[in-house]
Structure 1
Amino acid sequence: MTPQSPVAAAARRDRRAVLFGVIALTSLAWLYTIHLAWQMEVMAGPMTMPAPRSWDAVELVLLVVMWIIMMVAMMMPSASPMLLLYTKTLGARVAAPAVLQRSALFVLGYLAVWAGFSLVAAALQWGLHGAALLSPIMVSSHALLSAGLLIEAGVYEWSPLKQSCLRRCRSPLGFLLTEWREGGLGAFVMGLRHGLFCVGCCWALMALLFVTGVMNLVWVVAIAVFVLIEKISPMGDRIARLAGILMAGYGLLMLAGMARG
Structure 2
Amino acid sequence: MEHVRATGGREMPGRPIDMPVSQRAFLGVSALLFAVSAAVTIVSAASMSAMGEMPMPGGWTMSTAWMRMCGQTWPGLAASFLGMWIVMMVAMMLPSLVPMLWRYRVAVGGTGETRLGGLTVLVGVGYFLVWTAFGMAVFPLGVALAALEMALPALARAVPLAAGVIVLMAGALQFTEWKARHLACCREAPGRCLMLPGLPADAATAWRHGLRLGAHCSYCCAGPTMVLLVVGAMDLRVMAVVTAAITVERLAPRGERAARVIGAGIAGGGVLLIARAVGLG
Same fold at TM > 0.5? yes
Structure 1 counterpart of 2:2: 2
Structure 1 counterpart of 2:95: 77
Aligned equivalents of 2:244, 2:189: Cα separation in 1 = 19
Say whether the 8 Å CA contact 1:110–1:191 is kept in structure 2: yes
Aligned equivalents of 1:110, 1:175: Cα separation in 2 = 18
Structure 1 counterpart of 2:118: 101
Structure 2 counterpart of 1:156: 173
Code of the residue aligned with 1:186 in structure 2: it is: T
Q: 1:108 to 1:178 in 2, by over 3 A?
A: closer
Residue 76 of structure 2 is aligned to residue 68 of structure 1 = no
Q: Which runs of 5+ in 1 are unaligned?
A: 134-139
Alpha-carbon distance, 1:222 to partner = 1.1
Aligned equivalents of 2:3, 2:148: Cα separation in 1 = 66
TM-score by length of 2: 0.77
Residue 237 of structure 2 is aligned to residue 218 of structure 1 = yes
Aligned equivalents of 2:134, 2:265: Cα separation in 1 = 25
Question: What SS does the aligned partner of 1:208 have?
Answer: helix
Code of the residue aligned with 2:81 in structure 1: it is: L
Structure 2 counterpart of 1:124: 141
Say whether the 8 Å CA contact 1:81–1:172 is kept in structure 2: no
Aligned equivalents of 2:22, 2:192: Cα separation in 1 = 21
**Counterpart pick for 1:59 among 77, 91, 97:** 77
Instruction: State how many pairs are aligned.
Output: 247
Aligned equivalents of 1:34, 1:60: Cα separation in 2 = 20
Alpha-carbon distance, 1:33 to partner = 0.3
Alpha-carbon distance, 1:11 to partner = 8.2
Structure 1 counterpart of 2:255: 236
Say whether the 8 Å CA contact 2:194–2:212 is kept in structure 1: no
Question: What SS does the aligned partner of 1:179 have?
Answer: coil
**Counterpart pick for 1:205 among 224, 235, 255:** 224
Aligned equivalents of 1:200, 1:191: Cα separation in 2 = 14
Structure 2 counterpart of 1:170: 187
Residue 265 of structure 2 is aligned to residue 246 of structure 1 = yes
CA RMSD of aligned residues (A): 3.0
**Counterpart pick for 2:47 among 19, 39, 64:** 39
Q: 1:176 to 1:168 in 2, by over 3 A?
A: closer
Aligned equivalents of 1:222, 1:255: Cα separation in 2 = 20
Cα shift readout 1:116-159 (whole Å, capped 9, x = no counterpart): 111122233222222227xxxxxx98212211220221111112
Alpha-carbon distance, 1:13 to partner = 1.9
Code of the residue aligned with 1:170 in structure 2: it is: R
Structure 2 counterpart of 1:137: none
Cα shift readout 1:3-28 (whole Å, capped 9, x = no counterpart): 89xxxx99812222222222222222
Moved more, 117-126 or 212-221: 117-126
Q: 1:74 to 1:176 in 2, by over 3 A?
A: same
Say whether the 8 Å CA contact 2:67–2:143 is kept in structure 1: no
Say whether the 8 Å CA contact 2:186–2:250 is kept in structure 1: yes
Q: Higher Cα Rg: structure 1 or 2?
A: 2
Q: Which runs of 5+ in 2 are unaligned?
A: 5-16, 55-62, 151-156
Alpha-carbon distance, 1:241 to partner = 1.1
Alpha-carbon distance, 1:249 to partner = 3.6
Cα shift readout 1:195-229 (whole Å, capped 9, x = no counterpart): 11111100221121233311111110111011000
Question: What SS does the aligned partner of 2:2 have?
Answer: coil
Say whether the 8 Å CA contact 2:107–2:190 is kept in structure 1: no
Structure 2 counterpart of 1:92: 110
Q: 1:150 to 1:176 in 2, by over 3 A?
A: closer
